[in-house]
Amino acid sequence: KIDVSMEVKLSENGISKKLIMPLELKTSRNVSSSHFAQTVFYCLLMGDQYNIDIGSGILYYLKSQDEETGKMLKVPVVPHELRSLIIQRNKMAWFASDVQFSSLPPMIDNKFQCGKCISNTSCFLYNKAIEKGTGKGSIGDLFDHVVSHLQEHHLDFFRKWDELITLEEEDLYRFQPEIWNMLTTKCDDDLCLNNMYLDSKSIEAIPNGEGNKRFKCKFSRQMGRMNFVLDTQFCVGDHVIVSSERAHRTVASGFIENIAPNHIWLTLDRTPRSGPKSRTDFEIESCHGFAGLSENESLSSYLEIDIHETLYRIDKDELASNMRLVRQNLVSLLVDEETARLRKLVVDFVPPVFNHANEIMSDYEDMKNLNEDQRKAVKLALDAEDYAIILGMPGTGKSTTIVQIIKTLVRNGKSVLLAAYTHSAVDSILSKLVIEGIDVLRLGTKAKVQPDIWPFLLDVEKFDSVNSFRSFIESKQVIATTCLGINQFDYCIIDEATQVTLPICVGPLRFANRFLLVGDDFQLPPLVRNREAIEKGMSKSLFTNLTERHTRAFTKLRYQYRMNEDIMNLSNCLIYDYKMICGTPTSSSRHLSIPKWDDDFLSRFHKDQENHCNMECWLRIVLDPKKPVIMVDTDNLEANESRGLNQNIMEASLVEQCVKAMVVGGVHQKEIGIITPFRHQIKLLTQKFKDMTDIEISTVDRFQGREKEVIVISLVKANTDYKVSDILKDYRRLNVAITRARSKLIIFGSKSTVSASELMRHIIEHIEVAQMVYKLKDKNAPYWHVIPKIDASSGIIENIPKVDKLPKQHTNLGVPEILLRNNQLLRGITIDLNPT
């Protein structure tokens, strides 16, 4: 980024000029030609931004050897020098492009330049492992010093992971060119929202704990079809790029905060603006006048006009993960002297050492509150000289165990680095540590941290020197962050370790003498998009690699305190071979509480004489608190999925009736979660519950580590071909979906279709033996109920007097997804027709 954009007054040959220029600040004392080149490139970029020729830039050295106040230099843009720089830039771009994705330029072989290069370790490692280099020539001694310790299996390790990371990068880069090169009229409607207005009154500045601010903004369209946001692949938490339609340049980036049918809330790194506008006094040669730059102008009023006049484009950014950091972790593991011990453990698989006479002792009073598995896990962690691994089954108190381990370590004067895959997992543990009175420090952005942890965020503005900052950091015994955001600690503890790829996991481990991995490899694996990378092992975590080789470093937590026994046994039959155990009689026998169960609350759904439940009400049967697990089989209904969209309108209507009945019966909205594997079904369900914002609707992945009193699962797949998606064949995702429920689990789906998945067939067989399958017998069952409209506070706004027939789903059309994507009319017909 350009440090400063300046409006400069110059006097040359008696002529006064007012020009805009970039200002580049340098803390270095020495003038360098690379600094001049950088400033020239900034002139080029700024010229493109303002659509004028920027003839010069300013380079300012803050610590000049010649002058106490620093040294300022004017850097002219010389045409032949600029041409040479662009040629060099294009050469680098060519090597970085898909044309030569697996190749790099030849090594320079210059001892002086290579010795001062900050990337020489990465360069030498790549040359030796990938290009079979030997380091002959002037760089020989330097080359050997960096990589001579590496054996062939180390190089094989690097080759494997370099290939896997490259495959994943290719998948992540796939949609990047569309953001920058494709016209709005031709971009994919699923990944791009165009012609969006910014609501200026919605802008809210949010401090992020790092001395900066982020901005919460609402975008919408003034005209166009309804519910357009729901027809996209945008989801809460996705990374996005915001650009101006007029100039198509990036004006902000950030994350999706909330989604509604006709607008979207974003949290951005800056307030969006459309770009510079010329003032009336603008003159190309002598006066670069632009609105908003002069100190005499009201910038706020300019922004107000700018916002109302500007149309924005919002693109989903698939490259939100930091692959550069992942590669750096890999290089550091193999090359750095400080990681030699870690390298032996995670690459050479040297067996870990345990010292059962360890002087670290746990408090007996604290240990009395733990079960036998948790006490065993604490002891294993404290005895470890290298590492220990804890597999925690769902609801078994992994966080409680981690907190006890940290308390014991802190009490014995040890420092701890706590990391996890998600911010929520980190904050959950920190909240418990804070209650115990342990002084913690949280690293991260305020917008992603739970409010109760804000007081413990690092605030860099309160330090007036590096020494005071260092002293503050070193005074903290527990420092917490995510695995992608990270001194030396005594221990590093990584929660959700089974969700982290090996190179990411290695990042925080590099800074500790011992480490503890906590997770469950029967739940979500590391997120890897590229299918070939998955097949070649990228989704196999360090947690799994180590447990397969050294079982003595591994222990399990089996006693769960979350689920009703019937829900637990569903997971047991699928995954844990009945080794998971109810921790207390209370958890074993827990049932959903519906306060108005005996008050005939379902009569609100039975006011239409034409549509009634005949002999039995399927809602009463499904919601019965005495049935902790129930599958609603839709085979008798005309409930086929919408082909090409992974959407089932009929099933969504059944879910709507079921959930709204629970709310009318007194179940709090926050205690209900709806899980479905497919984004189009999420969009449809989100629309049906748009006034009930406390009901959480999401994919399995976003529910990891969470729990609800009742979980409703919409399987969606229903077709005469008996085809199911790979998601319904993934035992880990199915396990997570099942085990989010505490008291009641309701599954909607076509038994005949989803039984095509061996895993689902196994689950259904277990449910049938326990007589927990309810088959909707009448194809008119979805129309028997009057569905009330409910607001966010669970108040009934109105009873809809008549339930119209749901739109018939066109299962025989077989419309290909690509045709729907490119044809707006077909999308409007096939996607949700808003039956409510």
Alpha carbon distances (Å) from 159 to 62, 128, 156: 43, 10, 5
541 & 599 share domain: no
**Pairing of β 696-698 and β 672-675:** parallel
Which two three-digit tokens encode residue 142? Answer: 């330097």
Lowest mean pLDDT across 104-108, 473-477, 578-582: 473-477
pLDDT 10s digits, 99-151: 445 677 888 888 888 988 888 999 999 999 999 998 888 898 999 999 999 99
Which two three-digit tokens encode residue 178? Answer: 């569309």
Q: Cα(235)–Cα(242) distance, rounded to whole angstroms?
A: 16
Q: What is the pLDDT of residue 830?
A: 34
Q: What is the pLDDT of residue 521?
A: 94
Q: Is there a contact between 747 and 627 (Cβ–Cβ < 8 Å)? A: no
Which two three-digit tokens encode residue 670? Answer: 């926050």
More confident residue, 165 or 796: 165
User: Residue 260: which residues within 8 A CB-CB, separation 6 or more?
Assistant: 229, 690
Concatenated DSSP letters of 91-149: HHHHHHSGGGTT--PPP---HHHHHH-TTHHHHHHHHHHTS-----STTHHHHHHHHTT
pLDDT (average), residues 296-312: 55
628 & 510 share domain: no
Q: What is the DSSP letter of 184?
A: G
550 & 626 share domain: no
More confident residue, 165 or 223: 165
Lowest mean pLDDT across 64-73, 190-199, 681-690: 64-73
Q: In this model, does residue 826 exceed pLDDT 50?
A: no
255 & 350 share domain: no
The CATH number of whichever domain residue 267 belongs to comes to 2.40.30.270
247 & 180 share domain: yes
Q: Which domain holds residue 71?
A: 4-96
Which of 530, 557, 584 terminates a domain? The answer is: 557
534 & 606 share domain: no
Q: Give percent of the chain above pLDDT 70.
A: 82
Q: Cα(66)–Cα(638) distance, rounded to whole angstroms?
A: 84
Q: What is the pLDDT of residue 466?
A: 67
Number of domains composing the chain: 4
Which element (helix H / strand E) includes 400?
Answer: helix 398-411
Q: Is there a contact between 60 and 71 (Cβ–Cβ < 8 Å)? A: yes
Q: Is 139 contained in some domain? A: no
Q: Quick one: CA dihedral 129, 133, 139, 144, positive or negative?
A: positive
Q: What is the pLDDT of residue 217?
A: 92
Q: Is there a contact between 424 and 450 (Cβ–Cβ < 8 Å)? A: yes
Alpha carbon distances (Å) from 243 to 174, 212, 250, 269: 19, 21, 4, 13
Q: Is 805 contained in some domain? A: yes
Q: What is the pLDDT of residue 294?
A: 45
| Structure confidence at residue 182 as a pLDDT band (50, 70, 90) | confident
Which of 43, 72, 96 terminates a domain? The answer is: 96
User: Chain-wide mean pLDDT for the chain?
Assistant: 83
Q: Is 408 contained in some domain? A: yes
Lowest mean pLDDT across 274-278, 634-638, 677-681: 274-278
Q: Cα(167)–Cα(534) distance, rounded to whole angstroms?
A: 10
Q: Would you tell me the crossing angle of helices 152-173 and 502-509 to the nearest 10 degrees? A: 110
633 & 779 share domain: yes
Q: Quick one: CA dihedral 634, 635, 638, 643, positive or negative?
A: positive
481 & 371 share domain: yes
Q: Cα(384)–Cα(515) distance, rounded to whole angstroms?
A: 8
User: Residue 90: which residues within 8 A CB-CB, separation 6 or more?
Assistant: none
Q: Is there a contact between 546 and 418 (Cβ–Cβ < 8 Å)? A: no
pLDDT (average), residues 619-638: 93
624 & 743 share domain: yes
| Structure confidence at residue 178 as a pLDDT band (50, 70, 90) | confident
Q: Give percent of the chain above pLDDT 90.
A: 42
Q: What is the pLDDT of residue 279?
A: 64
| Structure confidence at residue 210 as a pLDDT band (50, 70, 90) | low
Q: Is 372 contained in some domain? A: yes
Q: In this model, does residue 611 exceed pLDDT 70?
A: no
**Pairing of β 71-76 and β 56-61:** antiparallel
pLDDT 10s digits, 338-397: 999 999 999 999 999 999 877 666 666 778 889 999 999 999 999 999 999 999 999 999
229 & 349 share domain: no
Q: Is 526 contained in some domain? A: yes
| Structure confidence at residue 615 as a pLDDT band (50, 70, 90) | low
Which of 52, 67, 96 terminates a domain? The answer is: 96
Q: In this model, does residue 189 exceed pLDDT 50?
A: yes
Length of the chain: 836
Which two three-digit tokens encode residue 254? Answer: 């950030």
More confident residue, 432 or 786: 432
Q: Cα(815)–Cα(211) distance, rounded to whole angstroms?
A: 51
Q: Cα(273)–Cα(287) distance, rounded to whole angstroms?
A: 22
What's the whole-model pTM score?
0.81
pLDDT 10s digits, 56-112: 999 999 876 666 678 889 999 999 999 999 999 888 888 777 544 567 788 888 888
Q: What is the pLDDT of residue 803?
A: 45
| Structure confidence at residue 822 as a pLDDT band (50, 70, 90) | very low
Q: Is 397 contained in some domain? A: yes
Q: What is the pLDDT of residue 829?
A: 31
Q: In this model, does residue 806 exceed pLDDT 90?
A: no
Strands (E), 178-326: 192-207, 213-220, 239-244, 250-260, 263-268, 312-316
Q: What is the pLDDT of residue 656?
A: 95
Cβ neighbours, 10 Å, residue 738: 24
Which two three-digit tokens encode residue 12? Answer: 């040359």
For the chain, what is the total number of helices (H) and then of strands (E)? 29, 27
DSSP 3-state of 816: coil
pLDDT (average), residues 276-280: 65
Q: What is the pLDDT of residue 831?
A: 35
Q: In this model, does residue 185 exceed pLDDT 80?
A: no
**Pairing of β 554-557 and β 489-495:** unpaired
Q: Is there a contact between 530 and 504 (Cβ–Cβ < 8 Å)? A: no
Which two three-digit tokens encode residue 767? Answer: 């449910």
Alpha carbon distances (Å) from 720 to 9, 643, 647, 754: 75, 11, 15, 11
637 & 731 share domain: yes
pLDDT 10s digits, 478-526: 877 665 544 678 999 999 999 999 999 999 999 999 999 999 999 999 9
Alpha carbon distances (Å) from 399 to 433, 517, 662: 10, 12, 31
The CATH number of whichever domain residue 817 belongs to comes to 3.40.50.300
More confident residue, 102 or 425: 425
More confident residue, 464 or 631: 631
pLDDT (average), residues 290-307: 48
716 & 761 share domain: yes
**Pairing of β 4-12 and β 15-26:** antiparallel
| Structure confidence at residue 282 as a pLDDT band (50, 70, 90) | low
The amino acid at residue 190 is D
Q: Is 279 contained in some domain? A: no
Q: In this model, does residue 208 exceed pLDDT 80?
A: no
Q: Is 569 contained in some domain? A: no
